[in-house]
Amino acid sequence: GLMGNPSDGFGGKTLALAVHNFAATVTLTPRPGGGVVLAPHAAHDATAFAGGLGELLVTTERDGYYGGVRLMRATCAKFAALCDAARVRCDGGFELAYETSVPRQVGLSGSSAIVVGTLRCLLAYHGLDARALGLAEAHMPQVVLDVESRELGIAAGLQDRVIQWYATRPAAPASLVHMDLATEL
């Protein structure tokens, strides 16, 4: 958010831009044998820890308790629920993996970038768009916010998801977006 933060949570107006110096990339690889695999990131999803308790404390304070796998999992669950509600069949196995250069826990929306990337992969893999799920394209940033806030309990506002969704469109990516988030709109 360039201007207006945190008014996006209170029906205000904001101006947001995409910072292209940082990115989260989600890759979907089909699995002919079926099943869904969420690949943990070597640095951000470490489940084993070889250091001492002091080092564990430092890395936990720096990186938190969770990585991107939970974000991909919650996005997959939300996507499956949307497909179910729209009576759209989504079969086929795949593996999802992510990479990110977004600095963690500094307010640059790295978690939503992973959610946006995952949702875009799922839509492309299944040959769907928002309309096929019974949604308007303008509703997709709300889907991303719902994954974070409702599924995972992450405190978040709408503006970051709007700029990320529109900045990652295949056609004519936006780099600056003005938002009027008035509740009556």
Q: Which residues pair with 38 in a beta bridge?
A: 96
Strand partners, 17: 176
Q: How far apart are CA 139 and CA 125, in angstroms?
A: 20
Q: What is the SS3 assignment for 44?
A: coil
Cα torsion angle, 179, 17, 174, 29, sign: negative
Q: At 74, which helix (H) or strand (E)?
A: helix 69-85
Task: Find out whether 151 and 66 touch, Cβ atoms under 8 Å.
Answer: no
Determine the 3-state secondary structure of 62 from DSSP.
helix
Catalytic sites, residue numbers: 160
- CB of 15 within 8 A of CB of 3? yes
The Cα 162–Cα 82 span in angstroms is: 19
